[in-house]
Amino acid sequence: MSVFRFKQFDVKQANNPLKVGTDAMLLGAFIDATDKKSGLDLGTGTGVLSLMVAQKKIEIQLDAIEINSLAAAECSFNFKQSVWSNRLNCLEGDYLSIDFQKHYDLIFSNPPYHLESIIGENLEYNRAKHSDSNELAELFRLVNRILSEDGDFWLILPFQLQSYIQKIACENQLFCKQLIKIHAKVNKPNKRIIFQFQKKLSNLAVTDFYIRNTDNSYTKEYIQLTKVFHFVEL
């Protein structure tokens, strides 16, 4: 059984198309859940982001949506095995087809990020990894509809999609409050970008974040950011 261990929880991921990786670790660590009461994890996979947010914020109630039936089953298992099981709820389904009856003050997603067509022999893997522009636009329309007026929407995507994503967000009345540019190393810039969107226009904060030093060791910033989650000391 494939299990990724964290300090306060374990993530079973044997049947998930995508495993826990650096993207999830970074997004989960950066998400600010301060003053948030209800959260929604879109395309939850293993449930790792919801578990990280639950660890951060004792009061928050979290719904997580996953379209892959095997992944949803593992997510539910991971939730039930955690100490926060009473605050975590996994639903199987396509979040673009769900008729949400409530608003959330925190929404987050590590979505499919390639804009090519879904192709390849491993259909489940490609479905998890690929998206198209219409699906991303629908994602932002959904968030605009169910995000509370004072809510935050967080997501991580490849750096190259920055301008495109900000355009879609603007078309859906979502304004970028924070951009965190993720760099693999000083000499390997522009790996990913983390966005924080709100419904209210505010000053944009832009920061750079480096995962590793030139000698391939983790930076002090990465160690400090993730130390409350990593089971093994970096």
pLDDT tens digits along 115-129: 433 334 443 444 444
How many CB atoms are located within 10 Å of the residue 216 CB? Answer: 8
Mean pLDDT computed over every residue of the chain: 89
The CATH architecture to which 3-226 belongs is: 3-Layer(aba) Sandwich (3.40)
Domain boundaries, the chain: 3-226
pLDDT of residue 168: 93
Q: With a cut of 50, which residues of the chain have pLDDT below it?
A: 114-131
pLDDT of residue 232: 82
* Verdict on whether the full-model pTM lies above 0.85: yes
Q: Locate tokens 């009473």: which residue?
A: 86
Burial class (CB in 10 A: 0-12, 13-18, 19+), 54: buried
